[in-house]
Amino acid sequence: EENKEEETVIGKEEKESSEQNTQLKGEEKAIQMAKEEWAISVNSYDFDAKLIGDGIYQVIVSNKTDTRAVAKYNVNVKTEVIVEQ
């Protein structure tokens, strides 16, 4: 019976790890889509994504020199729709 408890704990950790990986992949995809939409000297800007809904990330484009936000996009990584805010 002790083994069942350990398996449950490991299974839970694996599930959380899988969810984190899915979110990380979603963030990466959202940032990549925003970079393609922005298309202006992407190396001069920082792109930061945060999950705001089911498969929807808000990506903020900031100027690297003064960290001022210059654009915001809502990116749906499931439908691949991007909307500038």
From 57, 67, 69, 64, select the one nearest 33 (Cα to Cα). Answer: 57
Q: Would you state the pLDDT for residue 78? A: 95
DSSP character for 73? E
The answer to whether 51 and 26 have CB atoms below 8 angstroms apart is: yes
Q: Which of 22-36, 51-65, 69-83 has the lowest mean pLDDT?
A: 22-36
pLDDT band at 3 (very low <50, low <70, confident <90, very high): very low
pLDDT band at 20 (very low <50, low <70, confident <90, very high): confident
Q: Is pLDDT larger for residue 40 or for residue 11?
A: 40
From 67, 70, 64, select the one nearest 38 (Cα to Cα). Answer: 70
Phi, psi of 68 (to 5 degrees): -75, 130
pTM exceeds 0.85, yes or no: no
Residue 58: helix, strand or coil by DSSP? strand
pLDDT band at 12 (very low <50, low <70, confident <90, very high): low
